[in-house]
A and B are shown apart, each in its own frame.
Chain A
Amino acid sequence: MSELKRTQFYDIHVKAGATMVDFGGWEMPIQYPEGIVAEHLYTRSVCSLFDVSHMGRLLIEGPERLAFLQHVLSSNAAALDVNQAQYCIIPAEDGSAVDDAYLYRFEEDRFLLVVNAANTDKDLAYFAPIVKNYDCTIKNITDVTVSIAVQGPKSGEMLKVLAGGVEVTKPSRNSLSTMDLEGHTVRIARTGYTAEPIGYELFLKNEDAEWAWNRLCELGAKPAGLGARDTLRMEGMLPLYGDEMGVDEDGKPMPIFALALAKFAVSFDEAKGDFVGREALKKQADAQASFKAKNYSPEAMAALPKRVRPIALVDRGVMRHGMAVYRNGEQIGWVTSGTMIPYFMTEGEGENVRLLPETGKRAIGICYIASDVPLNGEVEVDVRGKRLKAVIPSKHISNNVPPYVVPVMAKHN
């Protein structure tokens, strides 16, 4: 294990009794003693802390930084004002993903690009020959900074305490700020990977790591590991590179527009101009729009044969990554992510939603299947030799009204 990298929080994780695993070359906590189910539910009801310091943090600086980013990212970076962030994908020429990323503009004259830990080296190697053509540089600051995700209904209130009673960012998603918290300069983003209606990601200097973690724990936050991070993002249909992005089980590249959220991550704005993969992505985007109008023409099916969809098991069992999905006996794709995920029963609607003490659990996940499977369509999953019934719902949760995530149960006959 000696060659594995460790974040500034390693000792804190071990002291808290975390089970440490190799994740993308980093020794990271998969769970703490309370376990993944408790950590998932604590995030949904109170607030969890996730060490996300392993993720690649790259500073893009120099006069032609914007032109470079417009060329290598799917999003329109020119649309970002200072103190705004956007989700984006690093496209390949064929319209598949090299990686997905988040672009932050905390300062006028530089961008921060956060990429997947396991892909950091690959992304840097991919950027290297391209960035040479622009008057700008990429500085990897992963080792000299840390990052903590603070996610859940109470996250905003906890950070407000550290800020001496003021809101740390604007309430809208993707807002950023740079704040003095108890004498420490912290960059704060209203972003996250848990699908929580309220959640933040903090970027700090290495020397502020322990202070931030311990203070947030004192205020009632609890640490959560990569296991809960995975179940939370899965419930929220947030893609993970390697599962819902990259190559499929047959080794074929997965088109970016197989993801519903591609329409928010890819811009064909004139201001952006040409960029890597634009031509392929335009065809995929047209196909996605045509599916939305329930038009499954041969052209659209050829451009986007499969899509990433939620899947819920109807029969007893648990789905896992890689299991085959069938429709009328014909294989139409695979489960890309799946497990048994806990949820709170709720009562009331909209902003009056209340979490009840009762919890349930459901075998849900994400699949990559033939694009023409309709909403609530019935399929079967091969769960270790048994064909189990499953259904394709529109989503697993509703998270548009803060502060609580509300489970959405799949409909089936």
Chain B
Amino acid sequence: MTINPDLKYSRDHEWVKEEDGLFVIGISDFAQDALGDLVFVNLPEVGDAVTAGEAFGDVESVKAVSDLLCPVTGTVAEINEELLDAPEKLNEDPYGAWIIKVENVTASEDLLDAAAYEAFCAEA
């Protein structure tokens, strides 16, 4: 399992990166490995409100559906449309394949740095 040292992580295995006032969100390598081959991604629309701790979309493997839980509260500024046709990018490059970018962020979960997230995964 790899952990990108430059990112912050939620306890639901999403990663977060602040970039020019936007919060970029994806799933960790731990998450993609546990989910298995991803074959479909349901994304929100630009302009949708998202809430910390609540689902903003879902990913489907061959066997099951899993919610994507948003680590921050705000408004969806961009979605990664490439994932609609190629959800396997989340398996192949979890830290490169961002899912959504959120603007007007008013709240955030208590996020873990890479070292704390590594310890969190070790206990999981």
Where the two chains meet, the residues of A that have a C-beta atom closer than 8 Å to any C-beta of B are 30-31, 35-38, 227, 231, 316-318, 320, 339-341, 361, 363, 384
| Chain A residues with CB under 8 A of B118 | none
Distance (whole angstroms) from the CB of B32 to the closest CB of chain A: 11
| Chain B residues with CB under 8 A of A31 | 36
Distance (whole angstroms) from the CB of B9 to the closest CB of chain A: 24
Known: A316-B84, A318-B60, A340-B60. A36 touches B65 (CB 8 A): no
Contact of A340 among B39, B42, B84 (CB under 8 A): B39
8 Å CB interface, B35-89 against A: 36-37, 39-40, 42, 60-63, 65, 84
Where the two chains meet, the residues of B that have a C-beta atom closer than 8 Å to any C-beta of A are 36-37, 39-40, 42, 60-63, 65, 84
Distance A339 CA – B61 CA, assembled complex (angstroms): 8
| Chain B residues with CB under 8 A of A340 | 39-40, 60, 62
Known: A316-B84, A318-B60, A340-B60. A35 touches B37 (CB 8 A): yes
| Chain A residues with CB under 8 A of B84 | 316
| Chain A residues with CB under 8 A of B61 | 36
| Chain A residues with CB under 8 A of B42 | 317
| Chain B residues with CB under 8 A of A361 | 39
Distance (whole angstroms) from the CB of A23 to the closest CB of chain B: 12
- Tell me the nearest residue of chain B to A363, going by C-beta: B40
| Chain B residues with CB under 8 A of A320 | 65
Distance (whole angstroms) from the CB of B36 to the closest CB of chain A: 6
Q: When A and B form their complex, which 6 residue pairs have the shortest distance between CB atoms, in order from nearest?
A: A340-B39, A35-B37, A36-B62, A37-B37, A318-B40, A318-B60
Distance (whole angstroms) from the CB of A341 to the closest CB of chain B: 8
Distance (whole angstroms) from the CB of A398 to the closest CB of chain B: 23
Distance A340 CA – B63 CA, assembled complex (angstroms): 9
| Chain B residues with CB under 8 A of A317 | 40, 42
How many residue-residue contacts, CB under 8 A, span A and B?
37
| Chain A residues with CB under 8 A of B63 | 30, 36, 227, 339
- Tell me the nearest residue of chain A to B39, going by C-beta: A340
| Further pairs besides A317-B40, A317-B42, A340-B62: 19, Cβ < 8 Å | A35-B36, A36-B62, A37-B37, A37-B39, A37-B62, A38-B37, A227-B62, A227-B63, A231-B62, A316-B40, A318-B60, A318-B65, A320-B65, A339-B60, A339-B62, A339-B63, A340-B40, A341-B62, A361-B39
Distance A266 CA – B73 CA, assembled complex (angstroms): 60
Distance (whole angstroms) from the CB of A286 to the closest CB of chain B: 39
Distance A58 CA – B7 CA, assembled complex (angstroms): 57
Distance A31 CA – B60 CA, assembled complex (angstroms): 16
A sample of 28 inter-chain contacts (CB < 8 A) reads A30-B63, A31-B36, A35-B37, A36-B37, A36-B61, A37-B62, A38-B37, A227-B62, A227-B63, A231-B62, A316-B84, A317-B40, A317-B42, A318-B39, A318-B40, A318-B60, A318-B65, A320-B65, A339-B39, A339-B60, A339-B62, A339-B63, A340-B39, A340-B40, A340-B60, A341-B62, A361-B39, A363-B40
Distance (whole angstroms) from the CB of A359 to the closest CB of chain B: 11
Distance A30 CA – B40 CA, assembled complex (angstroms): 20
Distance A363 CA – B41 CA, assembled complex (angstroms): 13
Distance (whole angstroms) from the CB of B112 to the closest CB of chain A: 26
Distance A30 CA – B61 CA, assembled complex (angstroms): 13
Distance A316 CA – B36 CA, assembled complex (angstroms): 20
Distance A120 CA – B17 CA, assembled complex (angstroms): 53
| Chain B residues with CB under 8 A of A318 | 39-40, 60, 65
- Tell me the nearest residue of chain A to B42, going by C-beta: A317
Distance A339 CA – B39 CA, assembled complex (angstroms): 9
| Chain B residues with CB under 8 A of A35 | 36-37
| Chain A residues with CB under 8 A of B65 | 318, 320, 384
Distance (whole angstroms) from the CB of A342 to the closest CB of chain B: 8
Distance A276 CA – B63 CA, assembled complex (angstroms): 36
Distance (whole angstroms) from the CB of A177 to the closest CB of chain B: 35
- Tell me the nearest residue of chain A to B41, going by C-beta: A316
Distance A231 CA – B84 CA, assembled complex (angstroms): 21
Distance A231 CA – B124 CA, assembled complex (angstroms): 30
Of listed B36, B61, B62, residue having the most chain A CB within 10 A: B62
Distance A384 CA – B40 CA, assembled complex (angstroms): 14
Distance (whole angstroms) from the CB of A362 to the closest CB of chain B: 10
| Chain A residues with CB under 8 A of B36 | 31, 35-36
| Chain A residues with CB under 8 A of B60 | 318, 339-340
- Tell me the nearest residue of chain B to A21, going by C-beta: B63
| Chain B residues with CB under 8 A of A341 | 62
| Chain B residues with CB under 8 A of A231 | 62
Distance A231 CA – B40 CA, assembled complex (angstroms): 15
Distance A317 CA – B65 CA, assembled complex (angstroms): 11
